[in-house]
């Protein structure tokens, strides 16, 4: 529901995320062997709280393209971006490059901050994060619709 209501063309202010967006949780899904003693207690998860979207500096973006697949971020994923987090070496960031938003990993090469794609199957030019580039925010979480 959340992913389909997010336009690809702009970041979404938190005020536009429905406050009552909640999911019912049946149980934890074990990644090992299931426990026969599992409790089937029903609880609710508030996605706004879980993803910490209630902060004024948090935004969501829909990813377009394949440049970050080796980092586990795929076309049509939704990422949560914090504007008040300091971008540091190795972090995935949203940046404004030549007037458009891009998602890249921030790395330091020869003393300079560089924005690099993470897809070994394709060639993307690295971009030096100089005065012409604005690192807009730091990616904190991603959400993927596995049924699409």
The DSSP-derived string for 2-54 is TGGG--TTSPEEGGGS-TT-EEEE-----SSSPPTT-----EEEEHHHHTTTT
- Structural domain range at position 45: 3-143
Task: Give the whole-angstrom CA distance, residue 113 versus residue 139.
Answer: 17
Q: Which pLDDT value is given to residue 27?
A: 47
Which residues partner with 143 through β-bridges?
78
Identify the CATH number of the domain in which residue 61 sits.
2.10.109.10
Of residues 109, 100, 90, the one with CA closest to residue 133: 100
Q: Which pLDDT value is given to residue 88?
A: 95
Query: Looking at residues 30-50, what average pLDDT do you find?
Result: 60
Q: Which pLDDT value is given to residue 137?
A: 93
Most confident range (mean pLDDT) of 24-28, 104-108, 124-128 is 104-108
Share of the chain above pLDDT 90, in %: 41
φ, ψ dihedrals at 15, nearest 5°: -60, -20
Of residues 98, 77, 90, 85, the one with CA closest to residue 136: 85
Q: Which of residues 131 and 106 earns the better pLDDT score?
A: 106
Q: Which of residues 145 and 105 earns the better pLDDT score?
A: 105
Residue 30 has pLDDT above 60, yes or no: no
Q: Produce one character per residue of 81-96: b if its CB has 16 or more CB atoms within 10 Å, e if not.
A: bbeeeebeeebbbbbe
Q: Which pLDDT value is given to residue 145?
A: 84
Per-residue pLDDT band for 12 (boundaries 50, 70, 90) equals: low
Residue 81 tokens read as 């971006």
Per-residue pLDDT band for 6 (boundaries 50, 70, 90) equals: very low
CA distances from 62 to 71, 89, 107, 131, 143 (A): 16, 23, 23, 26, 9
Residue 139 covered by a domain:
yes
Per-residue pLDDT band for 7 (boundaries 50, 70, 90) equals: very low
Count of structural domains within the chain? 1
Residue 22 has pLDDT above 70, yes or no: no
Residue 73 covered by a domain:
yes
Pair 50, 44: CB distance under 8 Å: no
Residue 146 tokens read as 């596995």
Residue 15 has pLDDT above 60, yes or no: no
Residue 107 covered by a domain:
yes
Residue 148 covered by a domain:
no
């Amino acid at each position: 529901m959340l992913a389909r209501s997010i336009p690809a063309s702009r970041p979404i202010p938190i005020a536009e995320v429905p406050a009552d967006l909640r999911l019912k949780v049946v149980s934890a899904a074990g990644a090992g062997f299931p426990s026969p003693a599992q409790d089937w207690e029903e609880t609710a998860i508030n996605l706004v709280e879980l993803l910490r979207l209630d902060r004024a500096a948090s935004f969501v973006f829909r990813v377009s393209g394949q440049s970050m697949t080796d980092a586990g971020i795929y076309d049509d994923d939704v990422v949560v971006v914090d504007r008040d987090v300091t971008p540091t070496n190795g972090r995935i960031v949203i940046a404004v490059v030549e007037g458009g938003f891009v998602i890249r990993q921030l790395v330091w090469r020869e003393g300079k901050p560089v924005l690099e794609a993470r897809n070994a199957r394709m060639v993307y030019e690295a971009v030096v994060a100089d005065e012409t580039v604005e690192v807009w925010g730091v990616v904190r979480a991603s959400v993927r619709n596995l049924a699409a």
